[in-house]
């Protein structure tokens, strides 16, 4: 459902939403050694931001997260996880929001609900960016994937939010990859080689790993099932194929 109404069109005085609480999304996209994130650019402002929005008064928090991400990016059926709630006073800076509203021809009146202090719940996701084509909503003129290593300047504390999401994703990565692979846009084919898996780890962790110790560590976790060797047309060193054991055996 692209091109939903923007929040202030639905609720000019904000009464439909929980006061002072917002959502921000760090959607990581992986494909073949590349790690990207999804950003919106607000039209006529040059401001880049994480997709975000608000929670309706009659809505569960996690349902709001799925709805807002779908409305703002057209992505649905994505596995989202909360990772942090951002509540520093320093993040209360109304400058970018004023610019966005003015570019839309809206005059932000004194006391407008969007100018209040907001605490924001951060959600992250990890998908294959070739399987997810985002569509911007009416407030934004682009919604696109950006290389994590070459992000444009982000508004407010969104750079810190990305960094925190990345730290969370990197910690306890084994458990998370299993979760993410059960969803609509898995990061690896159903079967994959040890090299494919190592490449995924290296791209997310941002560092090279030793092949032998990586393989030893992964196999010791009992999360992979070894299948036949990959058919490579007769080479004598054909690699084994693996797949994730779907019943979660991790504590």
Q: Catalog residues that contact a second copy under the rule CB under 8 A.
A: 18-21, 55, 57-62, 64, 82, 84-90, 117, 119, 121, 170-172, 175, 205, 207, 251
User: Rounded to the nearest whole angstrom, what is the least distance from the CB of residue 154 to a second copy in the complex?
Assistant: 21
Provide the minimum distance between the beta carbon of 233 and a second copy in the complex, in angstroms, as a whole number. 37
**Shortest distance (Å) from residue 181 CB to a second copy:** 17
Token pair 């919604």 in the structure block, residue: 143
Query: Distance (Å, rounded) from C-alpha 231 to C-alpha 166?
Result: 36
CB of 62 vs a second copy, minimal distance in Å: 7
Phi, psi of 173 (to 5 degrees): -60, -35
Scored b (16 or more CB within 10 A) or e, 78-97 reads: bbbbebbebeeeebeeeebb
Name the residue nearer to a second copy (CB basis): 150 or 171: 171
The least distance separating a second copy from the CB of residue 222, rounded to whole angstroms, comes to: 11
Nearer to a second copy, 90 or 107 (CB): 90
CA dihedral 35, 182, 72, 45 (to 10 degrees): -10
Cβ closest to a second copy, residue 114 vs residue 139: 114
Structure-token pair, residue 75: 């992505």
Nearer to a second copy, 4 or 120 (CB): 120
User: Per residue in 20-41, is it b (16+ CB within 10 Å) or e — as a string?
Assistant: ebbbbbbbbbbbeeebbbbbbb
């Amino acid at each position: 459902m692209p091109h939903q109404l923007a929040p202030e069109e639905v609720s000019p005085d904000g009464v439909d939403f929980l006061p002072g609480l917002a959502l921000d999304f760090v959607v990581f996209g992986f494909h073949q050694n590349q790690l990207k994130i999804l950003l919106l650019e607000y039209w006529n402002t040059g401001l880049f931001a994480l997709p975000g929005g608000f929670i309706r008064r009659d809505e569960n928090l996690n349902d709001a997260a799925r709805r807002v991400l779908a409305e703002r990016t057209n992505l649905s059926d994505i596995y989202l996880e909360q990772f942090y709630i951002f509540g520093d006073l320093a993040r209360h800076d109304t400058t970018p929001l004023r610019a966005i509203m003015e570019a839309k021809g809206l005059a932000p009146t004194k006391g407008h609900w969007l100018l209040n202090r907001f605490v924001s719940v951060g959600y992250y996701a990890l998908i294959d960016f070739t399987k997810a084509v985002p569509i911007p909503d009416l407030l934004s003129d682009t919604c696109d994937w950006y290389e994590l290593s070459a992000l444009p300047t982000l508004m407010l504390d969104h750079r810190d939010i990305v960094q925190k999401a990345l730290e969370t994703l990197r910690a306890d990565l084994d458990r998370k990859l299993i979760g993410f692979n059960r969803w609509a846009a898995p990061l690896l084919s159903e079967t994959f080689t040890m090299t494919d898996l190592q490449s995924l780890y290296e791209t997310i962790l941002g560092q090279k790993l030793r092949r032998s110790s990586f393989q030893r560590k992964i196999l010791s976790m009992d999360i992979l099932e070894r299948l036949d060797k990959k058919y490579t047309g007769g080479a004598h060193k054909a690699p084994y194929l693996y797949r994730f054991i779907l019943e979660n055996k991790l504590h």
